[in-house]
Structure 1
Amino acid sequence: MLALARTAIMRASRILRKSAVLITNSGALAIGTVATAGLGFVYWWLAARMFPPEVIGNAFALLSVIGLVALLGEAGVGTLLIGEIVRHPGQEAGLAGAAACIAATLAVGLALVFVFAEAQLSSASPIDSWFEAGLFVLGCSLTAFSFVLEQALVGSLRGSARMVRQILFSTLKLMLIVAAATAGFVSDAAILFTWVAGLLASWIGLDLLTGGGARRLVGAPDFSLLYTLRDKVLGHYALDVSVQAPTIIMPYLVLVLLSPTINAAFASLWMLVSMAALIPAALATVLFPAVRANSKQFGHDMLVSLSASLLFSLVCAALVLAFSRQLLALFNPAYPEIAGSSLRLLGFSLLGLTFKFHACALARLGDKMRKASYWFALGGLLEFGFAIAGAKLNGLEGLVVGWTFAVSVEGACSALVLAFVRTLVSDAGPAGGGLAPFQETSDHRTEASAANLIAGAPSQSAPAAG
């Protein structure tokens, strides 16, 4: 028995050493994610206890719109940095500076469009003052800026710096929400202020802790270099929007379809599930630069990342199924009465999301982002369609069931793609170089088949996720 245990430990040690880059950076991202999740839980727990439900519902809806505007404003340049920043030594700061400028500027423009459109088209807009509108626009710009620079940290394999910034942000906004509630400011504008101030202060804090590391991350914008990568930018952008937009905007959709009060209960559990989804998302994200650095590790790293993500997702789904009402009660005793058991199936969406994240990483590795985005966009429409239909038929529970079903269908299709492409890579053997099906090989039929599957093109198998 002792010999078997020693053998198992030695084998596990070899596996860990073999994927040291992936595990080290994924570990840093996971630690940051766990800390952010814990502090985020405390933040929203305090907010739910000290702010009225309709305020929480409106604030969470606005934050979801900020996330969507930042995603649209990011324009794919942030995700591009993950795979490209290591390929341009000496030009990293200029590339990151150009990406950050574009993202922040586009986010401001889109935020202004939303503010004026809401004022003209909606009689019950969650934005009810110019001060709140200003916070919203600034929040969109800072969120897009932060997203790009965090991706630059991941791409340069500096996951620990990203971890520090995430922890600083979560800690600072928690302190601010306590101060706001203590001072009697219990509006959704106060929540937006804690978010904006926390973002700005977290970057300043990271710069101080790293002796100017945050400032060195960004240099004079090198727009010419970014322009040469424009085809990949568009591909990453299309894929990011098609994969992430439906999930980001869901709380705003609940606000519009149902009510701010119902959205307060929904957003509380949605936030927990979204935080849990950050773990498989982080693993899939680090997979991109790690495999870029050593393509022979593709099959091994993909299996490690996917297995760990699925196990984590399954545990979270079981917890939400069994304790959804108790989790809601942790935030506010009124929330279980508002939502009942309507949210108990929400956790199972994590399984489908895990496969989607890894299929997305696969598309990036094969530089087939734009083609894959068509199928992911179709999946996003499926999510919106089933969520809206479910809400019309059976309120909150119908929305959750419809959305979870749509994500599960996407996940099943993604799983088929991942299994088939991994088989192609395994069949290529050591001579194929790990990612041979995605690169130039002598077997053009294998290459074409893999590319079609990554892109989600119609084939004899099911289409890719979405």
Structure 2
Amino acid sequence: MLRAVGRDSLARNSVLIMASTVGTSGLGYLYWMVAARELPRPAIGTATALISAATVVSMMANLGIGHMFIQRLPEAGAAAWSRIVSAGLLLGCAATAAASIAAALLLPRAVGNFTFLAGADGVVALALTAIALTASMLLDYVFVAHRASQGMLWRNLALAAGKVAALAGLTAAGLASAAAVVLAWTVPSLIVSACTLRWSLSRLRPGWRPTGAGLGDELRHVRGSMTGHHLVNLAQAGPSALLPVLVTAHLGAAENAHFYVAWMTASVLFMVSPAVASALYAERTNANNRSASLPRAALVVLVVIGLPAIVLFLAGGWILGLFSPAYAAAGGLLLKILVLAAIPDAITNLAVAHWRSLGALRRCLRLNLVMAVACLGLTWLWLPAMGIEAAGLAWLIGQSLGAALVAAHTGYARLRRRFTPQNVSAPRPRRPRPRSHPVVPGRFRSPAHSRPRSRRVP
């Protein structure tokens, strides 16, 4: 079994990406468990609201550079590779910093529950957290582009372990506020990203050197990724990043703490299909893509999420109770709803990866926009009356609607292929008839008749 996985590039990289997800999720449980036991819920709610806002900013400002890495890095030479990575990281982080400042200035004025962002401390905290997320995400895509997801695995495990150690150290030192959560979340991410730039990338691509040359030339490629893959990414990842922000805006930071813990627990399932989808897309952009088939990717997702989904659905309340009884009481029903949404979520993620590899970006965008509008619109309408369960129910409806659209498109495409004649050959083009007499340049052209007309004898 292990040998088969090792030979299958799609399965190997999917497993490595999911191992990174599972490892970081397990350490993430420990991180938030320490936070829940050492800090009051309002402090956790404020910290999770800031992290959620930083996630939205990073998602909007990364410019689709990650998928540009997947498209361009595998075939690039050493000098071009260094230019692409350096320019991508610089442009992505600069755009994230600018968007963070704008968000910190606008959110407190637009939504009363985000007043914690007002002031210089809020601006700096939001900007550093968002930049750390952007740099970490783009570096992950560098490893995925080269189907070297083991580098992503070790990087993320070191990052998650650093977060837990930093939070334990800060709380032991007596810092019992939202600042402890934000610092422990952000500082290890910046350190691990710096170490990746210094040591890991040179092993992945010998000859790698940070450079600022060619930045203007890369802007053309970044503009192309913005109008293509980035719009698809925004519509796809936007709802999951915006849901905690909407919960905070409507219900406050304390309720967002309950929502965020349940959402983080269910994200073990939601991270599997995007990991396999990224591996599928990376395989199809490389030359050797024999194993990169959609049925194989779907099988990998089904095998991985099957047992965890059953466990979370049946024992989710007990798992949330490990944080505290209040989290189990407030988020138990929400967690069951989110587990049910994992199946349609997997269908839509794999469909988008498949269509993206075929170049059907408009189809991907339309599907993601339909799901995003349904999810965010229903969440905004239902939150005041239904509480945090409204976000989970809206997510389930949005993903189910997307899965139904995928099924309808697939059925229509099969019917079209079935009733389209396949054996009717196209008409052959008519060949010009050869002239009976050659045309000699500069001489009188012979008439169309092959024989001269006979004169009538009187």
- TM-score bracket relative to the smaller structure: 0.7 to 0.9
Of 31, 34, 37, 1:49 maps to 37
Report if the CA contact (8 A) 1:153-1:161 is conserved.
Answer: yes
Q: How does 1:8-407 map to 2 (within 5 A)?
A: 16=5, 20-90=8-78, 91-125=80-114, 126-127=116-117, 129-206=119-196, 210=200, 212-213=202-203, 216=208, 218-223=210-215, 224-228=217-221, 230-294=223-287, 297=290, 301-339=293-331, 341-407=333-399
> For residues 429-462 of structure 1, what are the alpha-carbon distances to aligned partners after superposition, in whole Å with 9 as ceiling and x for unaligned?
xxxxxxxxxxxxx99xxxxxxxxxxxxxxxxxxx
> For residues 140-196 of structure 1, what are the alpha-carbon distances to aligned partners after superposition, in whole Å with 9 as ceiling and x for unaligned?
122112222221221122211111110111011110100111112122122111111
Shift of 1:243: 0.3
- Give distance in 1, aligned partners of 2:360 and 2:43: 42
Report if the CA contact (8 A) 1:389-1:399 is conserved.
Answer: no
- Give distance in 1, aligned partners of 2:23 and 2:271: 12
Which range moved further: 207-216 or 104-113? 207-216
> For residues 47-91 of structure 1, what are the alpha-carbon distances to aligned partners after superposition, in whole Å with 9 as ceiling and x for unaligned?
111111111122112111111111111111112211221132331
- Give distance in 2, aligned partners of 1:110 and 1:417: 37
Supply the AA of the counterpart residue of 1:67.
T
Compared CA separation, residues 84 and 182, structure 1 to 2 (3 A): same
Report if the CA contact (8 A) 1:317-1:345 is conserved.
Answer: no
Supply the AA of the counterpart residue of 1:29.
I
Which range moved further: 169-178 or 203-212? 203-212
Supply the AA of the counterpart residue of 2:108.
A
Which range moved further: 368-377 or 379-388? 368-377
- Helix, strand or coil: the match of 2:285? helix
Unmatched 5+ stretches in structure 1: 1-8, 428-441, 444-466
- Give distance in 1, aligned partners of 2:83 and 2:96: 20
Report if the CA contact (8 A) 1:45-1:330 is conserved.
Answer: yes
Higher relative contact order (CA 8 A, sep 6+): 2
Compared CA separation, residues 155 and 308, structure 1 to 2 (3 A): same
Bigger Cα Rg: 2
Shift of 1:285: 0.2
TM-score by length of 2: 0.83
Supply the AA of the counterpart residue of 1:96.
V
> For residues 328-367 of structure 1, what are the alpha-carbon distances to aligned partners after superposition, in whole Å with 9 as ceiling and x for unaligned?
2111222223345343211111112111211221232122
- Helix, strand or coil: the match of 2:387? helix
Supply the AA of the counterpart residue of 1:108.
A
- Give distance in 2, aligned partners of 1:422 and 1:350: 26
Report if the CA contact (8 A) 1:37-1:275 is conserved.
Answer: yes
Compared CA separation, residues 89 and 280, structure 1 to 2 (3 A): same
- Give distance in 2, aligned partners of 1:190 and 1:423: 58
Unmatched 5+ stretches in structure 2: 420-424, 427-458
> For residues 405-448 of structure 1, what are the alpha-carbon distances to aligned partners after superposition, in whole Å with 9 as ceiling and x for unaligned?
22122123234546777999999xxxxxxxxxxxxxx99xxxxx
Compared CA separation, residues 21 and 341, structure 1 to 2 (3 A): closer
Report if the CA contact (8 A) 1:76-1:233 is conserved.
Answer: yes
Which range moved further: 45-54 or 398-407? 398-407
Quote the residue 2:455 is aligned against. Answer: none
Report if the CA contact (8 A) 1:280-1:357 is conserved.
Answer: yes
Shift of 1:105: 0.9
Supply the AA of the counterpart residue of 1:282.
A
Shift of 1:242: 0.4
- Give distance in 2, aligned partners of 1:44 and 1:129: 27
Q: What's the % identity of the aligned pairs?
A: 19
Matched residue pairs, number? 417
Quote the residue 1:438 is aligned against. Answer: none
- Give distance in 1, aligned partners of 2:165 and 2:371: 39
- Give distance in 2, aligned partners of 1:418 and 1:67: 33
Report if the CA contact (8 A) 2:81-2:208 is conserved.
Answer: no
Report if the CA contact (8 A) 2:63-2:225 is conserved.
Answer: no
> For residues 368-426 of structure 1, what are the alpha-carbon distances to aligned partners after superposition, in whole Å with 9 as ceiling and x for unaligned?
22452133112101111222233234222233223212212212323454677799999
Shift of 1:290: 0.8
Report if the CA contact (8 A) 1:60-1:267 is conserved.
Answer: yes
Whichever structure has more helix as a proportion of its residues is 1
Shift of 1:120: 2.5
Report if the CA contact (8 A) 2:104-2:122 is conserved.
Answer: no
Compared CA separation, residues 26 and 222, structure 1 to 2 (3 A): farther
Compared CA separation, residues 296 and 151, structure 1 to 2 (3 A): closer
Report if the CA contact (8 A) 2:356-2:364 is conserved.
Answer: no
TM-score by length of 1: 0.81
Supply the AA of the counterpart residue of 1:347.
V
- Give distance in 2, aligned partners of 1:370 and 1:356: 15
Report if the CA contact (8 A) 1:273-1:346 is conserved.
Answer: yes
RMSD between aligned alpha carbons?
A: 3.0
